């Protein structure tokens, strides 16, 4: 199966090149069909690689440059189930986005398909590579494609500003990562992840290694939209077409979290092992802050894509807190959360595209009650929202259950309550928006919500049936993730292999073989933990209360409203004002955040 590893990357990149060459002569339908076929082939090969990696890690050394006496000279794709699963998710979302765009984006330049294929190929390359510099290269190729896609409608001011904010902040993050990689190379003379980790493990972590760790993880937190490095995300989503938002929220942010986990376990787990508590405490703190700030900002939005973007930030915080627990059980929960969240959130962004086409606005107050004539779209919005709450046994529930168990094992049992509050508030904001748009509930005006520039609506000549079908497929798949027989056991085994750095190095540097433990796994159904089920129901209650407050807060007694305003409005105003949309402000927050993270780890490591 080694021969197949480059294909999920090579096929979309080659197809993109062919489309550039043939763009002027190929009919538009042939042009689109080539893009979709390439994305489908990449997805199929990624799934085959995932199936093969369940039994043992799969390697491909480019040019036949295999390690000699444990020294890696060449560049490899090194695939375990979590890496293969991430590649399959990225390729699958790219395929769904291109099918959705068949009519939704056909009036736009043909460069759209080229950029989407490049984006998909880069995401797959990032997930599969075993070389830290190649990870950086794939991440930057992904970023360049995403910057161009965010600013695709460059004739409008909003997309131009969003793309610039996105590009500038992420480029600063990239420089931090690159400086960290340079320090690691200076110390180890290696770029292969396994070889760097083996070299660093032989000595305690010194200042150079700690600085490299801080630079790389901080740069990755910019990519993963972790507070206070998150400001670019909402601007990028507001500026991007709906299919692009699907990739940004469904895969790109998650790849930043994946990189943090990969680089910690393969490179830094050995030298920083004695400082594990310090690493955990700082990352858990950042994850919790991100989850709560993202949820609060989500509630304050009336622009639907911004609302979903802040929900993504909140979920990224939960993912980071799960990785921060630094154990395979929690990592399995993060993997399940990435899968369910990517599909559900991707589907919800596609619903935003349908709303924009049919109702001509993306602002929940502007389209108050206008969605009554779109019952299917309304049902899909409700189903996608319910899937993100964490109620048993649907959507993100399995992920939350594993994260809850991991938190209790490390004395962080309160993380389950934080997750319930964050999920509940985000889902409540989505339920509020859905109730206003599709049922006409609540007031037509709401001073609590932040006014944002609306988005120009695309042409009406689209296939709504095709767009709704693609959105529905993504949402239904995300909803039934916990019900897949054997998924829980397989993600836990995959996470154990991901965290087994000794076995990883033996496979990469010496060609050792893993035992085939996957062959003994059963296809058992989900076993529901009572405590996690109660947290899921609590999140549902919080979501219902949040939605009701958002719709009818004017009906509260005057004294209660005034007391609430005195207590909550000042901090809400501070948080909202910080999201100014000015790139200089974002860079100031980024710099302050990087210094704060460095100071925290300087005190604890």
Three-state SS across 213-280?
A: HHHHHHHHHHHCCCCCCCHHHHHHHHHCCHHHHHHHHHHHHHHHHHHHHHHHHHHHCCCCHHHHHHHH
- DSSP 8-class letter at 1: -
Residues 279 and 325: beta-carbon distance below 8 Å: no
d(CA 208, CA 575): 35
| pLDDT tens digits, 246-282 | 999 999 999 999 999 999 999 999 999 889 999 999 9
Residues 121 and 16: beta-carbon distance below 8 Å: yes
pLDDT of amino acid 413:
94
For 263, the token pair is 């680089």
pLDDT of amino acid 152:
79
The two beta strands, 58-61 and 76-79, are: antiparallel
For residue 231, the number of C-alpha atoms closer than 13 Å in the C-beta half-sphere is 27
| DSSP-assigned letters across all residues of 30-59 | HHHHHHHHHHHHHHHHHHHHHHHHTTS-EE
pLDDT band at residue 35, thresholds of 50, 70 and 90? very high
Residue 514: pLDDT above 70?
no
| pLDDT tens digits, 207-253 | 999 999 999 999 999 999 999 999 999 999 988 899 999 999 999 99
Question: Considering the chain, what percentage of its residues have pLDDT values greater than 90?
Answer: 76
Which has more confidence, 118 or 527? 118
What value does the mean pLDDT of the chain take?
Answer: 92
Q: Which of 113-122, 236-245, 319-328, 465-474 has the lowest mean pLDDT?
A: 236-245
Q: What is the CA radius of gyration of the chain?
A: 23
pLDDT of amino acid 499:
94
pLDDT of amino acid 224:
96
pLDDT band at residue 595, thresholds of 50, 70 and 90? very high
Residues 31 and 133: beta-carbon distance below 8 Å: no
pLDDT band at residue 516, thresholds of 50, 70 and 90? low
Mean pLDDT over residues 158-176, rounded? 89
pLDDT band at residue 515, thresholds of 50, 70 and 90? low
| pLDDT tens digits, 379-401 | 999 999 999 999 999 999 999 99
Residue 421: pLDDT above 90?
yes
Interior angle at CA 426, CA 424 and CA 427, nearest 5: 65
pLDDT of amino acid 517:
61
d(CA 571, CA 402): 33
Helix, strand, or coil here: 192? strand
For 408, the token pair is 């209790």
Please count the other Cβ atoms lying within 10 Å of the Cβ belonging to residue 520.
9
- DSSP 8-class letter at 301: B
Which has more confidence, 528 or 593? 593
| pLDDT tens digits, 333-352 | 999 999 999 999 999 999 99
Residue 203: pLDDT above 90?
no
Please count the other Cβ atoms lying within 10 Å of the Cβ belonging to residue 172.
17
pLDDT of amino acid 24:
76
Q: Is the peptide bond before 33 cis (omega within 30 degrees of 0)?
A: no
* Residue 24 buriedness (CB in 10 A; 0-12 / 13-18 / 19+): exposed
Ramachandran angles phi, psi of 32, nearest 5°: -65, -40
pLDDT of amino acid 187:
94
Residue 583: pLDDT above 80?
yes
């Amino acid at each position: 199966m080694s021969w197949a590893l480059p294909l999920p990357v090579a096929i979309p990149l080659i197809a993109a090149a062919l489309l550039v060459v043939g763009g002027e002569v190929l009919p538009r339908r042939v042009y689109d069909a080539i893009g979709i076929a390439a994305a489908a082939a990449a997805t199929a090969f990624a799934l085959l690689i995932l199936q093969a990696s369940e039994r043992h890690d799969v390697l491909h050394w480019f040019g036949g440059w295999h390690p000699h006496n444990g020294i890696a000279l060449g560049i490899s794709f090194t695939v375990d189930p979590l890496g293969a699963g991430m590649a399959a998710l990225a390729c699958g979302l790219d395929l769904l986005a291109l099918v959705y765009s068949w009519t939704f984006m056909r009036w736009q330049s043909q460069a759209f398909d080229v950029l989407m294929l490049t984006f998909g190929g880069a995401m797959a390359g990032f997930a599969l590579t075993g070389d830290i510099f190649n990870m950086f290269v794939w991440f930057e190729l992904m970023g360049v494609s995403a910057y161009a896609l965010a600013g695709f409608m460059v004739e409008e001011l909003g997309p131009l500003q969003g793309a610039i904010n996105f590009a500038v902040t992420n480029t600063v993050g990239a420089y931090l990562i690159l400086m960290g990689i340079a320090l690691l190379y200076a110390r180890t003379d290696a770029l292969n992840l396994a070889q760097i980790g083996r070299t660093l493990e032989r000595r305690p972590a010194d200042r150079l290694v700690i600085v490299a760790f801080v630079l790389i993880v901080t740069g990755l937190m910019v990519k993963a939209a972790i507070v206070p490095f998150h400001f670019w995300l909402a601007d990028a989503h507001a500026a991007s077409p709906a299919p692009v938002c699907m990739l940004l929220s469904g895969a790109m942010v998650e790849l930043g979290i994946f990189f943090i986990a990969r680089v910690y376990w393969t490179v830094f787990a050995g030298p920083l092992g004695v400082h594990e508590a310090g690493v955990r405490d700082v990352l858990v703190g950042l994850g919790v802050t991100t989850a709560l700030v993202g949820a609060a900002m989500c509630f304050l939005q009336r622009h639907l894509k911004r609302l979903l973007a802040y929900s993504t930030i909140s979920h990224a915080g939960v993912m980071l807190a799960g990785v921060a627990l630094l154990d395979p059980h929690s990592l399995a929960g993060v993997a399940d959360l990435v899968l369910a969240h990517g599909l559900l959130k991707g589907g919800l962004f596609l619903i935003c595209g349908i709303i924009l086409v049919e109702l001509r606005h993306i602002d929940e107050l502007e389209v108050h009650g206008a969605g009554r004539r779109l019952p299917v779209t309304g049902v899909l919005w409700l189903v996608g929202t319910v899937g993100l709450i964490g109620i048993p046994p649907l959507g993100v529930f399995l992920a939350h259950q594993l994260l809850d168990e991991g938190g209790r094992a490390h004395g962080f049992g309160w993380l389950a309550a934080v997750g319930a509050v964050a999920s509940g508030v985000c889902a409540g904001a989505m339920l509020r928006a859905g109730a206003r748009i599709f049922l006409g509930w609540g007031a037509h005006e709401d001073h609590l919500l932040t006014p944002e520039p609306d988005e120009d609506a695309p042409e009406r000549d689209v296939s709504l049936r095709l767009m709704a079908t693609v959105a529905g497929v993504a949402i239904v798949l995300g909803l039934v993730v916990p019900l897949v027989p054997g998924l829980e056991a397989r993600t836990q085994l995959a996470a154990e292999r991901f965290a087994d750095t000794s076995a990883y190095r033996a496979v990469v540097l010496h060609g050792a073989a893993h035992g085939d433990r996957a062959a003994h796994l059963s296809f058992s159904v989900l076993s529901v933990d009572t405590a996690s089920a109660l947290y899921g129901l609590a999140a549902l209650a919080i979501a219902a209360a949040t939605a009701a407050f958002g719709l009818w807060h004017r009906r509260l007694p005057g004294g209660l409203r005034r007391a609430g305003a005195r207590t909550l409005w000042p901090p809400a105003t501070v948080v909202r004002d910080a999201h100014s949309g000015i790139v200089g402000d974002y860079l100031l927050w980024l710099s302050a955040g990087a210094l704060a993270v460095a100071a925290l780890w300087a005190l604890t490591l």
